[in-house]
Every structure is written in structure tokens, then in C-alpha cells.
Amino acid sequence: MTPYDTGETKDIPEDQTSSISTATRRPSRSEAEAAVELLLRWIGDDPAREGLVGTHERVVRAWEEFCVGYNEDPASMLQRTFEEVEGYDDMVMLRNIRMESHCEHHLVPILGSAHIAYMPDRRVVGISKLARVIDSFARRLQTQETLTAQVAETIQSVLQPKGVAILIDAQHQCMTTRGVRKPDVSMVTTRFTGVFQTDTNLQRRFLEQARLG
């Protein structure tokens, strides 16, 4: 047990208790807009000048869109499946899915593409649903590693295919436009489950097809 984890809450002074409840309460839209105005003032600009009128509202609406995934349930997108596929039993792959996310460390874009495949076990899913699952996890604050794992594990656990493979190749603007500023660097992450993990030939086929993109 660490000194911070006493298992007791009764000793927390009153002013701290109130700051905890403020932190967990979801702020209102106008509070979020005020935070954007504060940031604009902090960077040295004037939120009241002509060009910035309404910016605080637009930024909050934009973030609503960037993070719409928090209100979605990706597992539910894979509920509807089809079994009439004439015994089709090979890899199903969706290539070059445009992927837009935001890094959870700097709140700047992660832009790239994803390639997903699964080996069906009788059931297949509407192909656009795979892209929707990517979107749903991408439109949150993310790390690329977490995103890759979440997509693979969700498809594996809901659709229950013989295996899932995913490769994401993306550029992180926190690295390309700031910090070390390496504009051409992209990050590649992969996750394999089931037969894609155990069958190296199958894994190689997937990687070859992904590279064609």
C-alpha cells in the first residue's frame, strides 16, 4: 500500500473533496468555450478581435466531432453478420482505410491509414462495418498502440473469426510539426490474433497485401 492509497477518504479536507467533484463533473458547453477563450488569451491573442469572433464556439464544435467516438459503441457495429457466403473461407481484407485520430499527449492529429483483415469462421460482417469500428476508436484521444489493440480485440471478441490482423501506418503531428519535427516519419503498429498469430504464411500474405497500399 502506497502512502497515497490509504483506502480511506474521510481524511480528505473539504476543499479537496470539492475539487475532486469539479474534476469529474462534465463541464458545460459554455465552460468549454470559455476554456478556449482562455487558451487564446494565453497564447497572446485577443479573442475579441474580428477574426476570432466565434472561434471558441467553432473549436468546441470541432472537438465534439473529433471525439464523437466516446458516444459510440463499436461492438454494436459488428452485431449484424451474414452466413450465406457459399463456403468462402479465406482472408477478408479491407485496405487503405483513412484514419484520423488525435494524440492523447498533445491533442494534435494522428493521420494515416489502416489495413484490417479477418479469417471468417462461417460468419462475415458488412465490410463498411470494419471501417466504422476504426472510426469509432479513432475519434477519441488515443495512442496508436492502444487504437490498434482495441480494434483487433473488438473484432476478435464480437465477430469471433479465426483470427484478426491489423496494421496502422500513421503520421503524428506532435512529431512532424513540433518537437523533433521529422516530417516524413510514420509509425507502423500491428496486432495479430488467432490464426494470424500462429500461421506465419498467412501473416506474411496480410503484410504483403497491406504494403500494396
The yes or no reply on residue 141 touching Zn ion (CB under 5 A) is: no
Binding of Zn ion at residue 103 (CB under 5 A)? yes
DSSP one-letter code for 92: E
Query: In this chain, which of 41, 98, 105, 211 binds Zn ion, going by CB under 5 A?
Result: 105
The beta-carbon contacts of 55-58 under 8 Å, at least 24 apart in sequence, are: 57/33
Nearer to Zn ion, 95 or 106 (CB): 106
Answer yes or no: 115 catalytic.
no
CB-based contacts of 19, cutoff 8 Å, min separation 6: none
HEC profile for 147-205? HHHHHHHHHHHHHCCCEEEEEEEEEEHHHHCCCCCCCCCCEEEEEECCHHHHCHHHHHH
Which residue among the candidates 33, 102, 144, 156 is catalytic per the annotation? 144
Q: How far is the CB of 174 from Zn ion (least distance, A)?
A: 3
CA distance 210 to 114: 9
Q: State yes or no: is 144 an active-site residue.
A: yes
Q: Is there a catalytic annotation at residue 102?
A: no
Give CA–CA dist 204/162, Å, rounded: 16
Is 104 one of the annotated active-site residues of the chain? Answer: yes
Sign of the Cα torsion 61, 66, 70, 73 reads positive
Report if residue 187 touches Zn ion, rule: CB under 5 A. Answer: no
103 in catalytic set: yes
105 catalytic residue (yes or no): yes
Of 63-71, 89-97, 106-114, 122-130, the segment contacting Zn ion by CB under 5 A is 106-114
> Active site residue: 31, 64, 104, 145, which one?
104
Closest by CA to 206, choosing from 119, 104, 88, 89, is 119
C-beta nearest to Zn ion: residue: 174
Active-site hit among 33, 56, 102, 103: 103
Query: What residues numbered 162-181 form the site for Zn ion, per CB under 5 A?
Result: 174
Hey, what amino acid is at 133?
A: V
Q: Which is nearer to Zn ion, 103 or 116 (CB)?
A: 103
**Could you confirm whether 171 is annotated as catalytic?**
no
CA distance 101 to 70: 12
Which of the following is catalytic: 37, 67, 72, 106? Answer: 106
Smallest gap from residue 61 Cβ to Zn ion (A): 23
Binding of residue 106 to Zn ion (CB under 5 A):
yes
> Active-site positions?
103-106, 144, 172, 174
Q: Which residues bind Zn ion (CB under 5 A)?
A: 103, 105-106, 174
